[in-house]
Homo-oligomer: A and B are copies of this chain.
């Protein structure tokens, strides 16, 4: 085999490898989203991805490793987006309104993300828990301190504690999308779709903005 062919083969392997790893992450994410759960079985993952579940061990070490990889994929973009928003030249009330809408869209897309974060923080050894808090939660908490602090300073927001506010906002944003089954059994409705997401986003963003604006 020529050197070029060998190099090509090695690249193909790398692509296949990345493809299989990504596919396991995406399939696990879909299972959690559809089942409204963070409990995934290796057998379901294997059937739905078409990949041998031994690959989970190979790529991620164990189930926690897979869960961490899902969290990393989903959270990295969120943290980056918030970083970009902070730098924008925009009044704090517009930043906050935009951000809350984005949080709601994120929970619609990844309704498991809070439970997944809490599960890892609870079950990992303390240094692993601290690492997750440092990588994903602290930057978001700092962003709230900046958004909200700027709005209080400029006189448009009421005087609130940003950490407590962060908790209320993410809780309000999240709850609706973990409640698909409530929608079904309580209201007899199955129209839990993008139209519902938009209605929830509009009302909840207004509720919170009216709540914090002076």
Number of A residues with CB within 8 Å of any CB on chain B: 49
B175 and A170 contacting across the interface, CB-CB below 8 Å:
yes
Q: Which of A127-169 contact B (CB under 8 A)?
A: 129-130, 132-133, 137-138, 141, 158, 160-161, 163-165, 167-169
- Tell me whether A212 is interfacial, beta carbon within 8 Å: yes
Copies of this polypeptide in the complex: 2
- Tell me whether A37 is interfacial, beta carbon within 8 Å: yes
Q: Which of A122, A130, A169, A182 has the most CB of B within 10 A?
A: A182
A122 to B32, CA, bound (A): 13
Q: Which of A158-209 contact B (CB under 8 A)?
A: 158, 160-161, 163-165, 167-176, 178-179, 181-182, 185-187, 199-200, 203-204, 206-209
Q: Which residue of B lies closest to A136 (CB)?
A: B186
Q: Which of A90-142 contact B (CB under 8 A)?
A: 114, 118, 121-122, 126, 129-130, 132-133, 137-138, 141
A204 and B168 contacting across the interface, CB-CB below 8 Å:
yes
- Tell me whether A74 is interfacial, beta carbon within 8 Å: no
* Given A36-B118, A207-B211, A211-B208: A179 and B167 interface contact (C-beta under 8 Å): yes
* Min CB gap A146→B, angstroms: 16
